[in-house]
Amino acid sequence: MTQRLRDLRERWQDPLLTLLTILLAVLMFVLAPLRAEHIPGAQEVGFTLVAVVTGAILILSGRRFAIWALLIAIVLAAVAAIHRLYQPSILDVYLDASAWLLISLALILEVGRAVFGPGRVTYHRVMGAVLLYLAMGLAFAALFTFIGAASDTAFSGFVVKDTSSLADVMIYFSFGALTGIGSGDITALHPIARSLVLLEAMIGQLYPATLLARIVTLEIEDRPRF
């Protein structure tokens, strides 16, 4: 069974990284805006697809912590969806944010091993680096959601509530900080939110340089020596 799992991992893990990168990008930059425009089921479909592919990657990796994190995230998202149908409240925001934070952390831990570990630089590995970047932005979006849900004055220009546009706005704000372009219409006022913005901006600046250095190192190590 162990050998079979290794064979499956070698065959499917890299293509699944590419697939998950595409799905996560579609979820954040296509389906979240569609949900903000009140298209029913858009984000739920995206979450399901991302959870399925993430589960496949984590099962192949064999990391128990990451698998349990994903399972808990799925349960939290399901509870939020059911609770929202009968008695919507700010609790749903906390549950959804917890689910996305767990998925993001699981991806960061597992994909980080694949991206920065030893081995040949491939197209799928580069796509994994993009996936890692998206997962970091999503993790910070979840953290900003926690802060905004706890304090109505955490941000100027936006109040965190359980609305169809919440995910779209939080992703917009998070990636504005991560890429360094900012978001002039929303500003962090809460001290912790400001610290997270600075931390995310630093990561956004350092990650490409660190990744490039690692890729160059791996490429040099993989070259044949005479």
Task: Render pLDDT for 120-129 as a digit per residue (tens, 0 to 9).
Answer: 777 777 888 8
Spell out, as residue ranges, where the chain has pLDDT lower than 70.
1-13, 41-43, 57-62, 119, 183, 216, 218-226
Q: Give the pair of three-digit tokens for residue 109.
A: 């831990």
The Cα 197–Cα 177 span in angstroms is 6
The Cα 188–Cα 75 span in angstroms is 30
Residue 194 phi, psi (nearest 5): -65, -40
What does the buried/exposed string (b/e) look like for 160-171 if buried means 16 or more CB atoms within 10 Å of the residue's CB?
A: bebebbbbbbbb
Predicted confidence at residue 1, as pLDDT, reads 46
The Cα 131–Cα 116 span in angstroms is 13
